Structure 1
Amino acid sequence: MLARLIAGVSLLAGEWLLVSLLFDTGDMNTGREWWAIVVRKGPVLVQIGVGAGLLLCAGLWWSLRPSFRERSRPNWNWLAAHLASFVVLLLALRFVLSAELRTAADPGRWVAGTGVLALVTAGLWFRAMIPAARMPDAWRGIGVAGLLAAPAGVLAWGAGRAARELWLALPDATLRFAEPLLRLTGGEVICRPNELVIGLETFSVTVSEDCSGYQGIGLIWLFLAVYLWVFREGLRFPQALLLIPLGTLAVYVMNVVRIVALVLLGAYVSPGLALEAFHAQAGWMAFDAVGIALVLLTQRTSFLSRNVPGAAVNEPGRDATVWYVAPFLVLVASAIGTAAFSNDPALWYPARISAAALTLLLFQQHYGELRTLWSWEAVGYGLIVGGLWLLLEPAETGSGRIDLPSAWSPIAVDAWWGFRLAGTIVVVPLVEELAFRGYLMRRMDSLYFERVSLQVVSWKGMIGSSVLFGLLHPGHWVAGTVAGLLFAAAVQRRGRLLDGVVAHGVANALVAGVAVATGRHGLLT
């Protein structure tokens, strides 16, 4: 039943995406007739409809929770009717959202008919996805949520407008907070609010919307949403919700500090280093610092956490979290650090891999799960993942080459490539599988993740950890998510974490082999 609903929601999302890509209301920017206003305000109505639809889906989800474990399939006849209705809806939208609508005999009837057709299409989807036996439960859930759906949709739209105004005001606020901090350095400060320019006499920057801090705020909201959900068993609510405004304020303050540091680095050290390396990575460093600080604050404050400091030192899973996650954190921190303070961070790859490898060696006595026999099935999973990755990778993306300094000796070049391949095929699979399949996949099921057998992990853990694994690979999130799901399947097959490591290593070896053989070194990044 749950898989049926997930497939149905995915179908709706795909249909909505198709409509948004195919049509716009640009041709209907004039006219005072009611139908012209409805068409022109289409995007607003869609935003309100999405907010209302989310609340309806929440009511539907809640009412059908007891039946999630039931086996069921979509009603194929009703599904076919829904798809046919959707095709007709596309044809109607093609006419309604064009200038030809004004030449129709009765434009209002066309607009009203298209609206009715959209409701019919949604109703057919509902009938196809909800079993007849569960229809009363579904209607009850929708009935309760339906009373609040329209107001919730309007509130969501209003909140979006308010948020947009806030984002537009952020650059000016960032500029005004950064100016007094720069004056503390004693230099001659340049501040032109109308142009959003801030800096010193020898170096200045423009604080655009992208530098205003809204991206960091959005990321910390996403991080905290995942953190609050995954660790909900050990947190105190509603106190834990205070992390959201606290994290928002902390990220914004860190962004102001980032702007100040950028100006100082450009004025007193190197403009190139400031604009190329530091500017690209300082935001991630600030985000990571805030995220880690919030987690540490939560785990050490009884007001926010049920695990009072010092009361559960020997609880299962408490120390194991460090063993499974520390190598990954070291690898990420070293990558961000070298990228922030070097114009060519690739040269520092051996140092990053060595730091992660040393962390693995430090905790190697705790990795008993890896001391098992590997399987040929894991190799098969790895070949599938590697093949899919290469198929999904655009040819131009991986076309770049890694150019090492010409002054390096052949031994130094060979040593660098040795670290590069060893890191890609051995160290990275170990680090990422310990963090995502060993820890996160099971942590989504239980606070004491070590007690969860890898053979019985839930769909929630598999999907959640795979999506986050995909987000770890910017520009490749689809391929990364699919890869995460297949690695999770390899682990669950025999309940052995080593199978995930082997599959991951084989996949990386295949991609690395193609990269070296063809000169498409971009595949390694």
Structure 2
Amino acid sequence: MGRRLAFIATLFALEAVLIVLVFQVLASVECRLTDIEGACRALRGALVRAISLGSGVAVLLWAKPDLRHRFVGASGKVVARRWVWPLLHGIGVLAIFAPLLTVTPATIHDGFARVFAGLLGGGLLAAVAGLLWVMPARAWRDWLRRDGTSILGVCVLALLIPDLAALLAPLWALDPLVEGTFGATAGLLRLIAPAVNVDPGMATIGLDGFAVIVASQCSGIEGFALLTGFLAIYAVIFRDIIRWGRFWLVVWPLGLLLSWALNVVRIAALILIGAHVSPELAVNGFHSFAGWFYFTILALGVIAGVQAVPWLHRDPRPRGSDEGTMREDWAVARILPFIVCMLSGIIVHMAFTAPAVGYPLQAAAIAAALWYVRRPLMAIDWRIDPVALAAGIGVGAVWLITAGPGGDIGIGALSGAALALWIAARVIGTGLLVPVVEEAFFRGYVLTRLDPGTGWGRAGAVAASAGLFAALHGRPVAAGVAGLVFALVMLRQGRLSDAIVAHASANLVIAGAALLSGDWSLI
């Protein structure tokens, strides 16, 4: 896929993740508590369908190289005023979040009509402008006219997956399945915490005052239906490659078994979080997010497994070098670690009342992603430039001077070896890992993709990369200034390593101040 399309696809994915994070975790919306429950549920379903549609089209383009090449070619056509569509798309995304400035998490249901208007209007504008950003309307028409049959078929199936899940659900509502899920969850919890309260008559499992009802819809039924629908789409797309008999007789049952096992783990984790961490986090954060997260991981894992096992293919061929090509691709090296950083941050926020406590897990995930793409990163022209070093130290000093009063980040319960491990992970992650990840993405990818090389175009590219960088930090003004400095440092000699050195030196100055003062809210 062309780099421009890869950038747009990555941006769309990050926007979807951000919307889910804000409206499902940070400011959880319960449709039943609003005055427009039906409209709220319909809008939530629209987001699910959009994600399902994007996944289906992505699988189709992956499976059909000719279709993918024509798509990339059509999207590369030069049109006048192409900048209008990304601008309108950005305005639409901002409109989605703008109503949140007028409400708080506690009052979001009372003023949900304003939030709904922003979500609906902004979402429609962002979607239409995003499609026209990918390619002009005429190119969409020509592409669909030639390949419309297969494309529209997959799109319809993808859009109907949520409905298929609801339609097939009664077929899976078997008492043995519900009872098996209930018993397996209770058994798993007893391995971790002996004092588990189990009431089979009421179908409740509780621990330390927090209990859940394992109803029929909690038995894994929805996961079974969703996985079946997703595998059906995959089987249709790859019908000329996979052996259908082996796929449905082996892969499908194994997928259902894994789906059931992950559902048991999900319910057990929900109870543990509610009992030992936070009931609110369990109900409004983990419960609303974990199901789709587990399904996504499982679906991608099953597809990867099928692709890797020649026994499931009609024409088994030796394993190629796709993995090696991917891990050595420069674009992948700049994008993948950032995606891992974002997703791991969401998971930590989902699993910990005090997200800072889970930072070592996030640092480990980031380190693993960087290790995976280490070859292209090691090929960077690494130098410790004095100007970059001084610029970074200056940014760190300004960050500390403009910092507000410190706050409690929730690590007070850590002591001894646990605290030492957390401090080491925080310093290494903040001072060494994060600068590589963020500079590779914001300066190495975003800036270089937008930069025409001269004049106002370059200034706009610098501003855009700094603006995106600022949007992901708690102090956007200071972060925006830092992003501008890092961009200018990189453009000075044309070396990404200079931006990384500047960012790392800034973060290490801040980490040093946090270590000396004990105020870890600084980072």
TM bin, normalised by shorter chain, reads 0.3 to 0.5
Instruction: Please report the TM-score for the alignment, with normalisation by the length of structure 2.
Output: 0.44
Instruction: Please report the TM-score for the alignment, with normalisation by the length of structure 1.
Output: 0.44
